[in-house]
């Protein structure tokens, strides 16, 4: 392998594949170079911008020969926005790349031979994103809202985004035009000044209604917030409700602790597996309801075909979406979630859907697991794990193993932490039956996976 000090500043390379973070991977005399904004098969002239002991990062100076999988992006802002990293790659090939990302993670981290199935595509590749979070800033003449350029805090003022419903663009434009009229300034991140920090929209694919949350750099409601909320609610069609979230901290976290609904309802309704769910401002719910429905139906069909009259544990349950969707193919579902608001919302959903066999627990998962082990080991036929991107702790996996008789169904949005956790489970004697990837975020490097683990 070539020493990093001998690596030329500029060189011509061929892109071999994509990394799990969407970088193109090229090699020069065996030395790995990560390249931005490229497709496998591209031949490019690059400039090295950062070197480490084992790899380097580079940018493209010139596209010498394009990959056969390149297509024209359908969004004119694709290069500057940074939200849709793979939009210039043919969609069917994107699916292959995502399967490769999962397979590479499993091979390099887990080290086991596991069946990786073809990625199930998103039913919609545009207008699929039903949660929008736009940071806001201000110029001398206007309010700006959009996404940051990749790796920067330079805001791209987006008037039209084809991956979200068009009426979301209309809502954001209305807020741009009316915020300053109501005396509301845009946020200045450097000086921590200005009022409007983010615009957050949750919108329903069921009935196209939207919940609008204005994230403000203030500690309490003010007359100008009330005025803008009323204008949004009364002058825009299909607004379910308008709220204010208070966030005065110098933080990258979008939402603060307190949300106050000023007009209408504090939720929208969404449907999964023919169940109607209430989704609030801070509710965890997949941003692509079309792929989410595919995932839930897939898991439901698998359980129905492989386990009769089963008792299910829905861990890290959020609003108990999995448990509620699985209720009619299970004898009983036990759900555990530590966020009080999510459990309260789940209780409403359970009652409104007239479900009788779902039991809700508002507890820290580890505490709940410990108490369950004292009462009954192997008390559940199937455990569904749907952790955040960081995956599960080994302790949580141990609890799941001790509580479960037959199978663990692990739903993951991060191939690396999935592979790490599967490696641990295999070391405890488990067998991974297969991994089924789903495309939750078309035109990005992100991929959702369902792994079925036999105990």
DSSP assignment of 154-179 equals PEEE-S--TTS-HHHHHHHHHHHHHH
> What share of the chain in percent tops pLDDT 70?
99
Residue 55's pLDDT band, with cuts at 50, 70 and 90, is very high
- Find the mean pLDDT for residues 120-133: 97
Whether residue 182 is predicted with pLDDT greater than 90 in this model: the reply is yes
Q: What is the per-residue pLDDT for 366? A: 81
Q: What is the per-residue pLDDT for 5? A: 65
Catalytic residue among 110, 273, 413, 430: 413
Whether residue 1 is predicted with pLDDT greater than 50 in this model: the reply is no
Q: What is the per-residue pLDDT for 276? A: 93
Q: What is the per-residue pLDDT for 339? A: 87
Whether residue 26 is predicted with pLDDT greater than 90 in this model: the reply is yes
What's the CATH class of domain 96-123+288-454? alpha beta
Whether residue 79 is predicted with pLDDT greater than 60 in this model: the reply is yes
Active site residue 413: yes
Within 10 angstroms of residue 68's Cβ, the number of other Cβ atoms is 11
Residue 374's pLDDT band, with cuts at 50, 70 and 90, is confident
Q: Where are the domains of the chain?
A: 4-70, 96-123+288-454, 131-272
pTM above 0.85, yes or no: yes
The CATH number for 131-272, chosen from 2.40.50.1070, 2.40.37.20, 2.40.50.100, 3.20.20.140, is 2.40.50.1070
Any idea which architecture 4-70 has in CATH? Beta Barrel (2.40)
| Backbone region of residue 111 per phi and psi (left: phi > 0; alpha: psi in -120 to 50; beta: other values) | left
Fold agreement between 4-70 and 131-272: yes
Residue 296's pLDDT band, with cuts at 50, 70 and 90, is very high
Sign of the CA dihedral 129, 133, 447, 284? negative
- Find the mean pLDDT for residues 232-259: 96
User: What are 88-113's pLDDT values in tens digits?
Assistant: 999 999 999 999 999 999 999 999 99
Contact 20, 445 (CB under 8 A): yes
Contact 201, 171 (CB under 8 A): yes
Q: How far apart are CA 243 and CA 211, in angstroms?
A: 8
Q: How far apart are CA 251 and CA 138, in angstroms?
A: 19
User: What are 410-453's pLDDT values in tens digits?
Assistant: 999 999 999 999 999 999 999 999 999 999 999 999 999 999 99
Q: What is the per-residue pLDDT for 3? A: 57
Residues contacting 146, CB < 8 A, separation 6+: 81, 134, 135, 155, 156, 157, 158
Angle at which helices 394-403 and 365-375 pack, to 10 degrees? Answer: 30
Q: How far apart are CA 249 and CA 115, in angstroms?
A: 46
Whether residue 334 is predicted with pLDDT greater than 90 in this model: the reply is yes
Whether residue 2 is predicted with pLDDT greater than 70 in this model: the reply is no
Residue 4's pLDDT band, with cuts at 50, 70 and 90, is low
- Find the mean pLDDT for residues 5-11: 86
Q: How far apart are CA 304 and CA 328, in angstroms?
A: 9
Whether residue 41 is predicted with pLDDT greater than 90 in this model: the reply is yes
Q: What is the per-residue pLDDT for 378? A: 82
Q: What is the per-residue pLDDT for 154? A: 87
């Amino acid at each position: 392998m070539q020493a990093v000090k001998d690596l030329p500043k500029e060189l011509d390379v061929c892109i071999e594949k994509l990394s799990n973070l969407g970088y193109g991977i090229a090699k020069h005399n065996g030395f790995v170079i990560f390249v931005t904004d490229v497709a496998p098969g591209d031949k490019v002239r690059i400039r090295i911008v950062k070197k480490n002991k084992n790899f380097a990062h580079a940018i493209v100076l010139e596209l010498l020969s394009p990959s056969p999988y390149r297509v024209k992006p359908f969004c004119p802002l694709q290069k500057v926005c940074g939200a849709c990293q793979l939009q210039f790659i043919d969609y069917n090939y994107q699916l292959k790349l995502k399967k490769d990302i999962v397979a590479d993670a499993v091979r390099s981290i887990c080290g086991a031979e596991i069946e990786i199935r073809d990625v199930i595509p998103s039913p919609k590749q545009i207008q699929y994103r039903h949660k929008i979070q736009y940071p806001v800033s201000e110029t001398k003449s206007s309010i700006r809202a959009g996404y940051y350029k990749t790796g920067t805090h330079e805001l791209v003022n987006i008037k039209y985004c084809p991956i979200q419903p068009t009426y979301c663009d209309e809502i954001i434009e209305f807020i741009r035009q009316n915020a300053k009229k109501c005396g509301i300034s845009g946020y200045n991140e450097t000086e921590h000044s200005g009022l409007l920090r983010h615009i957050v929209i949750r919108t329903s694919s069921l009935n196209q209604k939207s919940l609008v949350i204005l994230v403000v750099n203030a500690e309490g409601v003010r007359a100008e917030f009330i005025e803008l909320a009323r204008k949004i609610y009364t002058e825009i069609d299909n607004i379910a409700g308008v709220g204010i979230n208070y966030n005065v901290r110098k933080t990258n976290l979008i939402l603060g602790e307190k949300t106050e609904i000023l007009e209408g309802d504090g939720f929208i309704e969404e449907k999964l597996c023919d169940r109607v769910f209430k989704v609030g401002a801070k509710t965890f719910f997949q941003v692509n309801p079309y792929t989410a429905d595919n995932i839930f139906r897939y898991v439901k069909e698998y359980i129905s075909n492989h386990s009769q009259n089963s008792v299910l544990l829905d861990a890290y349950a959020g609003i108990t979406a999995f448990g509620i969707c699985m209720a009619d193919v299970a004898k009983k579902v036990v759900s555990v979630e530590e966020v009080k608001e999510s459990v309260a919302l789940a209780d409403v959903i359970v009652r409104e859907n007239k479900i009788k066999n779902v039991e809700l627990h508002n507890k820290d998962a580890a505490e709940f697991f410990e108490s369950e082990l004292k009462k009954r080991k192997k008390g559940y036929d199937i455990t569904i794990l749907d952790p955040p991107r960081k995956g599960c702790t080994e302790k949580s996996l141990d609890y799941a193993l001790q509580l479960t008789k037959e199978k663990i169904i692990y739903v993951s949005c991060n191939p690396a932490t999935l592979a790490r956790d599967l490696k641990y489970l295999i070391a405890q004697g488990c067998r991974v039956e297969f991994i089924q990837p789903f495309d939750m975020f078309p035109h990005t490097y992100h991929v959702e996976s369902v792994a079925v683990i036999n105990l």
